[in-house]
Structure 1
Amino acid sequence: MKHLIVLLLLILAYPANAASLTIELDHSRTTWQTADLLKHPAAQTVQIVDDVSYKRTMTYRAVPLAALLPGLLAHNHVQAVALDGFAAELAAAPLLQQSGAQAWLAVEDPVHPWPPLATGKPSAGPFYLVWTRPQASGISPEQWPFQISTIKQLKTVAERFPALLPDPALAVNDPINQGFALFQKNCLACHRLNGAGDAQVGPDLNLPYSPTEYFGSDFLKRYIRDPQSLRHWPQAKMPAFAASVLPDADLELLVGYLKHMATRKTDAH
């Protein structure tokens, strides 16, 4: 009976919303607990101005993400998977750099939880990738995944999902290939295309139809700029892509890639 009481006391003393984060690299697999990250030797208190998710200045206890990715090289690629299926594809180079924009893993303290993202919504915790000086490296909102559960090293998007690739006859610097790069950066975290991708949030953007087939070009651009302006419903998850995040020239390239892929339909499955 005494042992049972001690066990119950330990359970009650452990924060109910403490969490774990698994980091899977090619040569290592580590599972971090909330408490261990909060007391990590590299942990600092960082202030994030204009936080992408909270739309205001926020202060976090955070660890430089590079400190949690031993052995990862600049040419490598990782994916951050969120609890809701959001899968952010991230080039390793920006995550590892020490100047300009710097990546941090913000850790939610169960004793001092973060505010909800909106009424009736959870917080951005338990783990949230935030950036100091994001403008220095052109970091997009899709590179701020929150509610992260796993970070894993993978092959590049092009290697894993050939069904996403434009016509191989195109030059490397062709506008269609530039649009493909923008698609990876801004869309692939939520959407699949030709059945290819790991995201489980938004619809496929080529099957059965590309949005370029049912949206006029100008309306598609307006939809990407502000989805709620054309299709308004409370459960909508797609964020607006302001010109400061996706300039008009980039938006044109992105739509050009989608138009091109509408002629290259192939179900990856």
Structure 2
Amino acid sequence: MRAFIGLALLLTASLTQAATLTLDTGKGPQRITTEQLLARPDVRAIDVPGDVSYHATMHYRAIPLKALLGGVDPAAHLQFVALDGFAAEIPAALALQARAEAWLAIEPADAPWPKLGPDKPGAGPFYLVWLHPEAGHVGSEQWPYQVATIRVLADPASRFPKMRPAPGLATSDPVMRGFAVFQRDCITCHTLNGQGDAKLGPDLNVPHSPTEYLRDDLFRVLVRNPQDLRHWPQAKMPGFDRNALSDADLDDLVAYLKHMAGRKAAP
């Protein structure tokens, strides 16, 4: 009986540790297990200096992301959905063509990665990491961890028309530049006008834009370090330092949010 219970516990633990990635490149969802990914001939051992999530050099077994994206148009858009609802939006060209190298790190079931902090999980089971991220201007929000699903979609501006600024603005307009910043750094956690796939943070326009109830300087404090504005131990929003979000990008984001405060739409 003890032997049977011990075997059952081992099987339960094995099932608990098993992980599956859902990959949909436009041909229907494909489910791939940790074991299948680690058995691929293109798996490599890589060192990632300055890992964004662990803030140290990390060592992973990983697959070049582009090896999983055969046939994907560089003009397409990739969405990485995490176990907690975080949804990172990344242009396919960044992974397929840029000098920055995108790798899908795979957590072995028998060698779990460290926790990201007290009372926090590790980055597994799958984590998008980058080598030479500066070559592609890869932002901190483009390192999604705890990835459960990767899928090819239309870009956010096409999928979520209520996020778009007023027509006719030049691409060089601060509002349009701010919309690009929003898509890179904010859409991962926030909706706007009720549109978006993220499930972590509040909507940034309805019922009110933060630019309507925060002075510009306080909004910048909120973005740079949320705990400096509201001390809340359970807060999940990360701070964006100037390496992650330049002052110019933050100015453009403010311009976009102020513009959209005049373009509210019902969710």
**Alignment match, 2:233:** 234
Distance, in Å, in 2 between the alignment partners of 1:184 and 1:12 is 40
TM-score, length-normalised on structure 2? 0.94
**Alignment match, 1:123:** 122
Q: Are the equivalent residues in 2 in contact too, given 1:15–1:111 (CA < 8 A)? A: no
- 1:107 Cα shift? 0.4
**Alignment match, 2:69:** 69
Distance, in Å, in 2 between the alignment partners of 1:200 and 1:215 is 23
**Alignment match, 1:248:** 247
Deviation track 1:40-95 (CA, whole Å, cap 9, x = no partner) reads 11110111111111111110110011111111111001110000000111100011
Residue correspondence of structure 1 range 109-258 to structure 2 within 5 A: 109-258=108-257
- 1:13 Cα shift? 8.0
- 1:180 Cα shift? 0.2
Local SS of the residue matching 1:103: strand
**Alignment match, 2:29:** 29
Aligned residue identity for 2:39: K
Distance, in Å, in 2 between the alignment partners of 1:9 and 1:183 is 46
**Alignment match, 2:86:** 86
Aligned residue identity for 2:66: A
Deviation track 1:143-191 (CA, whole Å, cap 9, x = no partner) reads 0011011011111101110000000021232111111001000100000
Distance, in Å, in 1 between the alignment partners of 2:30 and 2:197 is 22
Q: Are the equivalent residues in 2 in contact too, given 1:19–1:33 (CA < 8 A)? A: yes
TM-score, length-normalised on structure 1? 0.93
Aligned-pair identity in percent equals 52
Local SS of the residue matching 1:152: strand
Distance, in Å, in 2 between the alignment partners of 1:250 and 1:144 is 19
Distance, in Å, in 1 between the alignment partners of 2:155 and 2:52 is 25
Structure 1, unmatched stretches of 5+, are none
Q: Which moved more, 1:168-177 or 1:156-165?
A: 168-177
Aligned residue identity for 2:257: L
Local SS of the residue matching 1:16: helix
Distance, in Å, in 1 between the alignment partners of 2:118 and 2:251 is 35
- 1:8 Cα shift? 5.0
Distance, in Å, in 1 between the alignment partners of 2:207 and 2:190 is 13
